């Protein structure tokens, strides 16, 4: 949903997800980017900039 929201969605305090079986933050960011999202990984989470995926995939911006 964050990809379609207006503004930025910040996920923080999730550093523990980097030390599980895989770096889940990196995997999530990679997959969101593959779907057209504007995602920036941070030290303990990620920032998802809204609107990018909806505009690239032909959906109207709310």
Question: What are the tens digits of pLDDT across the range 29-61?
Answer: 999 999 888 999 999 999 999 875 545 555 554
Calpha distance 36→56 (Å, rounded): 7
pLDDT of 4: 80
What CA–CA distances, in Å, run from 1 to 22, 25, 39, 42, 49? 23, 16, 13, 19, 11
């Amino acid at each position: 949903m964050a990809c379609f929201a207006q503004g930025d969605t910040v996920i923080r305090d999730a550093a523990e997800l980097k030390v599980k079986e895989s770096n889940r933050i990196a995997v999530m960011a990679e997959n969101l980017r593959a779907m057209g999202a504007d995602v920036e990984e941070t030290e303990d989470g990620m920032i998802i900039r809204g609107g990018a995926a909806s505009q690239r995939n032909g959906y109207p911006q709310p």
